Amino acid sequence: MLDAKERRKLKDKARELREKIVEVTFTCGGAHIGGAFSQHEILVALYYKAMRIDPKRPAWEDRDRFILSKGHGGVGHAVILGDLGYYDPVLLKDFNKTGSPFGMHLDRLKVPGVDFSTGSLGHGLALGLGAAMGARQTGKDWRTYVVMSDGECAEGSVWEAAMAAANFKATNLMAFVDRNRLSLDGPTESLMRLDPLDKKFEAFGWRTLVIDGHDLDQILDAVEISRAETERPVMVIANTIKGKGVDFMEEKTAWHYGGLDEAMRDAALASILKS
């Protein structure tokens, strides 16, 4: 549990970062803003509280690893890394521009702080499992955190990795599903049914927790549970709201990807301020 002061600080940080995501989306012409907002509290809790990292040493051997398996959330990830000081956030003015190090899906070889290049769905959980197994093989205590999208769970490779992670008892691996229930073509449950998603991961051998994915305390409590687990990797089904924080984007499939004109930007910022 966070104390009241810490909670306030993290919430303010989350709000400030949402505003920055709006600004980048405005300048870059378009971004996956809906998913960046649904995953947002999970990334904030991990990067500003839970993970062992040092922005001054992005290649520090003993740092915790983070994989944004839903790589299209890169705009949110990039804003956080810039804010933490992995690079000058001013560089984000070039997001999506020709020749920029920042594309929609972040490249680990171009963006400091990015441990794995993602964008193709269904890779992150297996990459995270490999990292976790590598840490264990080399006797290191760093942990690996993976954030997936819910739509991504239609990929068969997610389940190959899910099966293997439980088989290898990768308790140094923790994964989240950003369960916003909307993918590109509409509601996940009418496209390709995922429910009961928690039962599915449970059946594959994971300890599965279902939480409110915008509640920082619940996210950090889940991290504590994962750290204490000795038998099973922990999967968190984080119930979230696509477009969270901006009233006209919330629960709207259309805001999977979109651009903002000046009026929309101002409206978005006003909505974030109220939330």
Residue ranges that bind other proteins, judged by CB under 8 A: 61, 65, 107-109, 115-117, 119-120, 123, 126-135, 137-138, 140, 144, 157, 160-161, 163-164, 167-168
Distances (CA, A) of 191 to 2, 147, 185, 226, 230: 38, 21, 8, 31, 36
Q: How far is the CB of 246 from other proteins (least distance, A)?
A: 32
Residue number, 2 or 164, with CB nearest to other proteins: 164
Q: How far is the CB of 127 from other proteins (least distance, A)?
A: 4
Residue number, 26 or 145, with CB nearest to other proteins: 145
Q: Which residue shows structure tokens 């927790």?
A: 209
Residue number, 73 or 122, with CB nearest to other proteins: 122
Q: Which residue shows structure tokens 């920029």?
A: 100
Q: How far is the CB of 13 from other proteins (least distance, A)?
A: 27
Residue number, 164 or 210, with CB nearest to other proteins: 164
Q: How far is the CB of 21 from other proteins (least distance, A)?
A: 25
Distances (CA, A) of 165 to 26, 125, 126, 237: 39, 9, 8, 16
What DSSP string runs through 97-158? STT-S--SS--TTTSTT--S---STT-HHHHHHHHHHHHHHTT----EEEEEESGGGGSHHH
Residue number, 17 or 135, with CB nearest to other proteins: 135
Q: How far is the CB of 239 from other proteins (least distance, A)?
A: 27
DSSP three-state, residue 244: coil
